[in-house]
Structures are given as C-alpha cells and as structure tokens.
Amino acid sequence: MIARIWHGWTSFENADIYEELLRNEIFPSIENRNIKGYRKISLLRRPLENEVEFITIMVFDDLSAVKEFVGEEYEKSYVPQKAQEVLLRHDKFSQHYEIVNEFDY
C-alpha cells in the first residue's frame, strides 16, 4: 500500500471555502473516476499563526494506481484550478510512502 501525502495552505477567510470545495467537488470527482487500486482519502486541517494548513493523505494499492490517478510523473501534485484560486501556496510535489503497518487498537 502507498500513502500519497500533500500539503496546502490557505487564509483563515478561505479555509472553510477550501474545505467545502474538497468535500463537495474535488473528492467526489476523484471517487467517480473509479481508479483501480485507489482506496481512500483523508483530510487533515490545522490552524497556524497566519494561515490554515491542509494535508491530504490518499491511499493506493501500489504506484501503478497512483500513476493511473495522476500520470507517469506521479510525484507532481494534483491541484485543480478552483483549489489554486483559494490556496496561498501548496506543495508542487506529493510525497509517497510505503505503508508497512497499520495498528487498530
């Protein structure tokens, strides 16, 4: 399993707008693509001193599933235009980690 991690930052004024955009448009559009090997997406949110940080963690079966999602240059970030309009900045590349264990207590 592969975790694809990405960070984006927005203003306090745009944080709710961005979260709603993710929940109601971007995440459903990813789900509707029916990518073989795509498992789930998680959204994390954290207020900082001058901005709000968002992290997405997507889980895929393997790198071939990631490539089906974003193409051969799979490390490049996926940031739709509507999201770019409300973000202050974002990672240009996503990080990919092998999930070696998950603990359920």
Residue 8, CA distances (Å) to 46, 47, 98 in order: 11, 12, 22
Average pLDDT over residues 76-100: 96
Could you tell me the residue range of the domain that residue 75 belongs to? 2-98
3-state helix, strand, coil in the chain (%, to 5): 30, 35, 30
| 105 within a domain of the structure (yes/no) | no
Q: Does residue 75 belong to any structural domain of this protein?
A: yes
* CA–CA dist 26, 21 (Å, integer): 6
Put simply, whether the predicted model's pTM sits higher than 0.75 gets the answer: yes
The count of domains in the chain is: 1
* Span 33-58, pLDDT tens digits: 999 999 999 999 999 999 999 999 99
